[in-house]
């Protein structure tokens, strides 16, 4: 008799846990739907700038036309470049680490340079500013900053 009561209590406890999980999930989904609906309404009314924040309906339309606008091709190139870059960087990093681990001399020589390199912001290590959109219509490329005196003389 005692065992059966515990089982019923356990079932009620598990049912309560399940109801709580389901209600949390439904609330989360409702909040996402409410956010997207509010975003769409505000963008349609012009309260928010849809050029900057886009619009859920435009994103859905773009998503549905992935094969027609070349987005899949660009996505493939991006994924390929990301994987190749990660693999090349990882392999070179492991090789350099092994070389530095084997050679105490090279390790001691390169230590201050590696410390300085590690303290630099990673964005400062990129190789070219030309494709980053910073230096358009300028005649002087000085580390990605505009030379305002000469920028409109071209």
pTM (predicted TM-score): 0.44
Burial class (CB in 10 A: 0-12, 13-18, 19+), 146: middle
Kindly report the backbone phi and psi dihedral angles of residue 128, in degrees, each rounded to the nearest multiple of 5, phi listed first.
Answer: -145, 140
Those residues with Cβ within 8 angstroms of residue 37's Cβ, 6 or more apart along the chain or in another chain: none
Q: Which residue has the higher pLDDT, 24 or 146?
A: 24
Output 114 or 148, whichever has higher pLDDT: 114
Give me the pLDDT at residue 118, please.
Answer: 87
Q: What is the pLDDT of residues 51-74, one digit of tens each?
A: 888 899 998 988 888 778 777 888
Taking residue 42's Cβ as centre, other Cβ atoms within 10 Å add up to 15
Look at residue 109 in the predicted model and tell me its pLDDT: 95
Contact partners, residue 147, CB within 8 Å, separation at least 6 = 138, 139, 140
**Interval 114-119 mean pLDDT:** 88
């Amino acid at each position: 008799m005692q065992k059966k009561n515990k089982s019923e209590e356990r079932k009620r406890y598990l049912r309560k846990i399940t109801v709580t999980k389901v209600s949390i999930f439904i609330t989360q989904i409702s909040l996402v739907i409410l956010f997207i609906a509010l975003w769409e309404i505000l963008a349609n009314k012009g309260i928010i700038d849809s050029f900057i924040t886009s619009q859920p309906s435009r994103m859905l339309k773009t998503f549905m036309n992935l094969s027609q606008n070349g987005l899949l091709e660009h996505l493939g190139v991006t994924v390929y470049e990301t994987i190749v870059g990660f693999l090349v960087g990882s392999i070179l990093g492991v090789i350099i680490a092994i070389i530095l681990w084997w050679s105490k001399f090279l390790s001691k020589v390169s230590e201050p340079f590696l410390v300085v390199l590690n303290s630099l912001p990673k964005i400062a290590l990129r190789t070219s500013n030309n494709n980053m959109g910073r230096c358009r219509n300028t005649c002087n490329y000085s580390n990605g900053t505009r030379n305002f005196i000469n920028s409109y003389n071209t």
